[in-house]
Amino acid sequence: MVPVSYYLVVSAILFIIGMIGVLTRRNAIIIFMSVELMLNAVNLSFVAFSNLWGNLTGQVFVFMVMTVAAAEVGVGLALIIAIFRMKETTDINRMNLMKG
Amino acid sequence: MDNTVFTLLPLMILVGFSLLVLVADMMLAREQRPALGIVALIGVIVSLISCSWLWNAPQTAWSDMIVSDHFALFSYIIFLVSTGLTLLLSMRYLSEEDIQFGEYYALLLLAATGAMLMASGLDLMTIFIGLEILSISVYILAGFARRNERSLESALKYFLLGAFATGFFLYGIAMVYGATGTTNIKVISQVVSEGTIRSQSFLWIGIALLVAGFGFKVALFPFHVWTPDVYEGAPTSVTAFMSTAVKAAGFAAFGRVFLSALQPMHADWTGILWILAVFTMFFGNITAIAQRSVKRMLAYSSIAHAGYMLIAIIAGDANLSSGSLLFYLLGYAFTNVAAFGIVIYLSRKGETEFDGKDYAGLAIRHPWLAFVMAVCMVSLAGIPPTAGFMGKFYIFSAAIKAKFYWLAVLGVINSVISVYYYLRVIFVMYFEKPAADYVHGTLSLGMKIVLILSVIGIFQLGTVPGSVMALLQNSMMVFQ
């Protein structure tokens, strides 16, 4: 059997890949995909820990995360479409009306 | 009430009314839509009344996922006050901005529901779901003026960074679960204090990630980058809601997790939060000085206030911290909604730049409005006899009682720095000549009610804080 720690390492690697994606890519849709990758990496951790502890809390949590992620996709893509209609771009470097 | 199903009554009422608003929206003509705001307001008031029913019987319910202790119920009151005041501000404002849609009111009620779920969650799962209900509603609200480029841009920034922060928050929960084998706040606290955790390093990583997740929601340095842009771009009524209810919800859940679940690790997490609080206060206050636009200044000031509120959590004593935190949040809700109300009134339609000239000579044109704005600024600066002063007093004295002397001193120094930019607004209103071309409108009834209630609230909390503090004294009764 594959030890649980392997799953945790894979999950951490996926999370970091997603994080790097968010920080380096400039297309709103790619950034959003990277965020989804981070959430799924967390799901993998939850399932691995659930197996480690032998209780189902982690697995139930994964369902919640997936549902919430789906709701987030609905809102996020709608926002990206609305902004694409106005600016004809999804490049976040062009979202610079206000300077932080 | 013996039936534990009703511990969620205030939330159920809000959800019911938000559905009612959506249905009624389809039957009403465009010009009748402001009436939906009244429907939503009735929902808020009914929900507020239901909180008083639950007050005397704190209990846990729904398989220990929900708790209705005084901490949760008082947080409900804060959210409902700020939602109600925001609704009153919005009705006229939405018509002026040409975004009078029923969904606005429904989303505002749903956002308040999410906030309440965060405050009453006794399980990290409930807190997470509450956080997401709140966040997703507010993402939409921030981009509600969908013909306005700034509003959309702010919504997209808020959404992308918010989803990113959700990732960290969730990973934090996963790590805490990995270390303790449970997501229940009470059980986590028990496991951590008994030391039967699987791995100390999982717990530390989990704490760090949770701080990042919460830090984003409440706008702590260095997770604040979204705040100024989103506050500036979003419709001003939504900004008023974000700076009060969303921040309060973030701190309520922050307090619940750190003062209850992770309380046994208090000595381990104070160091990192101490540094964050000091940086947040200095960053917010010093950057606010440089702002020309009042809306942006209020955004940076809200970052600084997050720093003061964090001091309450660092103090780490469940009763003292939660009492002073909630008192501060209530005072802040009254003050900030009124200040943003005046920003709404003084901004001309479609205009998004707010500079000093709209405020110049306000005391001559609108003596009462200038007075309310002055009261708000004095309260934000923390000068007696206002709510802001008493709030800071309680927070700093909690810090001193917990022997965080330097933190209290740095907090006081920051309050002194902040006086400069708050008093500058008062100076401009009272001592500069009004711009000749200014045409002023009339105050809507809703706005008048907001301003009157806020001034009463600010002075009430500032002069006779004892009654509210007495309510808060045992706010953590079931909490521990």
Instruction: Enumerate the residues of chain B whose CB falls inside 8 A of the CB of residue A79.
Output: 139, 143, 152, 155-156, 159
Average the pLDDT over B66-83 and give the result.
92
CA distance A14 to A18: 6
| SS3 assignment, position A98 | coil
Q: Is residue A10 part of a domain?
A: yes
For A68, the closest chain B residue by CA position comes to B132
Q: Chain B: give the shortest CA distance to residue A2, in Å.
A: 18
- Six-digit token pair at B258? 């750190």
Residues of the domain holding B389: 4-472
Residue B350 has pLDDT above 60, yes or no: no
A14 touches chain B (CB under 8 A): no
> Per residue in B443-460, pLDDT tens?
888 899 999 999 999 999
Residues of the domain holding A77: 4-92
Q: Is residue A74 part of a domain?
A: yes
Average the pLDDT over B260-266 and give the result.
87
Interface test with A, best of B164, B180, B225, B353 (most A CBs within 10 A): B164
| pLDDT reported for residue B355 | 60
CA distance A15 to A35: 9
> Per residue in A13-42, pLDDT tens?
999 999 999 999 989 999 999 999 999 999
Query: A35-44, B4-13, B404-413 — which is least confidently predicted?
Result: B4-13
Query: Which of A17-26, B313-322, B339-348 shows the highest mean pLDDT?
Result: A17-26
Nearest CB to A75 within list B140, B164, B171: B140
CA distance B215 to B228: 15
Q: Chain B: give the shortest CA distance to residue A60, in Å.
A: 9
> Per residue in B272-291, pLDDT tens?
999 999 999 999 999 999 88
Q: Which residues pair with B66 in a beta bridge?
A: B61, B121
Phi, psi of B184 (to 5 degrees): -80, 130
| pLDDT reported for residue B467 | 80
**Amino acid at residue number B329:** L
| pLDDT reported for residue B1 | 45
Q: Chain A: give the shortest CA distance to residue B17, in Å.
A: 21
Residue B353 has pLDDT above 60, yes or no: no
Number of domains in chain A: 1
CA distance B151 to B444: 24
CA distance A6 to B5: 42
| pLDDT reported for residue B362 | 81
- Of the pLDDT bands very low, low, confident and very high (cuts 50, 70, 90), residue B384 is confident
Number of domains in chain B: 1
Task: Count chain A–chain B contacts defined by CB atoms under 8 A.
Answer: 119
Query: A72-76, A77-81, B292-296 — which is least confidently predicted?
Result: B292-296
Cβ distance of B174 and A15 shorter than 8 Å:
no
B303 touches chain A (CB under 8 A): no
Q: Is residue B231 part of a domain?
A: yes
| pLDDT reported for residue B478 | 45
Cβ distance of B152 and A61 shorter than 8 Å:
no
Q: Is residue B205 part of a domain?
A: yes
Dihedral-angle region of residue B347 (phi above 0 means left; psi in -120 to 50 means alpha; beta otherwise): beta
> Per residue in B147-173, pLDDT tens?
888 899 999 999 999 999 999 999 999
Residue B354 has pLDDT above 70, yes or no: no
| pLDDT reported for residue B474 | 64
Q: Is residue B479 part of a domain?
A: no
A4 touches chain B (CB under 8 A): no
> Per residue in B8-64, pLDDT tens?
899 999 999 999 999 999 998 888 888 999 999 999 999 999 998 888 877 888 888
Nearest CB to A18 within list B152, B167, B181: B167
Q: Is residue B478 part of a domain?
A: no
The more confidently predicted of residues B402 and B469 is B402
Q: Is residue B477 part of a domain?
A: no
Q: At A18, which CATH number?
A: 1.10.287.3510
- Of the pLDDT bands very low, low, confident and very high (cuts 50, 70, 90), residue B468 is confident
Average the pLDDT over B366-386 and give the result.
92
CA distance A31 to B249: 27
Q: How wide is the angle at C-alpha A45 spanned by C-alphas B180 and B156, nearest 5°?
A: 110
Residue A91 has pLDDT above 50, yes or no: yes
3-state secondary structure chain B: CCCHHHHHHHHHHHHHHHHHHHHHHHHCCHHHCHHHHHHHHHHHHHHHHHHHHHCCCCCEECCCCEECCHHHHHHHHHHHHHHHHHHHHHHHHHHHHCCCCHHHHHHHHHHHHHHHHHHHECEHHHHHHHHHHHHHHHHHHHCCCCCCHHHHHHHHHHHHHHHHHHHHHHHHHHHHHHHHCCCEHHHHHHHHHHCCCCCHHHHHHHHHHHHHHHHHHHCCCCCCCCHHHHHHHCCHHHHHHHHHHHHHHHHHHHHHHHHHHCHHHHHHHHHHHHHHHHHHHHHHHHHHHCCCCHHHHHHHHHHHHHHHHHHHHHHCCHHHHHHHHHHHHHHHHHHHHHHHHHHHHHCCCCCCCCCHHHCCCHHHHCHHHHHHHHHHHHHHHCCCCCHHHHHHHHHHHHHHHCCCHHHHHHHHHHHHHHHHHHHHHHHHHHHCCCCCCCCCCCCCHHHHHHHHHHHHHHHHHHHCCHHHHHHHCCCCCCCC
**Amino acid at residue number B311:** I
Q: Is residue A99 part of a domain?
A: no
Query: A89-93, B80-84, B91-95 — which is least confidently predicted?
Result: A89-93
For residue A56, give the DSSP letter: S
Please check whether residue B111 is in contact with residue A47, taking contact to mean a CB–CB distance below 8 angstroms.
no
Percent of all residues in chain B with a pLDDT value above 90, rounded to a whole number: 61
Non-local CB neighbours of A84 within 8 Å, separated by 6+ positions: A90
Please check whether residue B375 is in contact with residue B388, taking contact to mean a CB–CB distance below 8 angstroms.
no
Q: Chain B: give the shortest CA distance to residue A70, in Å.
A: 11
CA distance B114 to B134: 4
Long-range CB contacts for residues A58-67, cutoff 8 Å, separation at least 24: A58/B174, A58/B177, A60/B125, A61/B125, A61/B128, A61/B173, A61/B174, A61/B177, A61/B183, A64/B125, A64/B128, A64/B129, A65/A39, A65/B128, A65/B170
- Of the pLDDT bands very low, low, confident and very high (cuts 50, 70, 90), residue B106 is very high
- Of the pLDDT bands very low, low, confident and very high (cuts 50, 70, 90), residue B405 is very high
Average pLDDT, chain B: 89
Q: Is residue A23 part of a domain?
A: yes
**Amino acid at residue number B122:** L
Q: Is residue A29 part of a domain?
A: yes
Q: Is residue B406 part of a domain?
A: yes
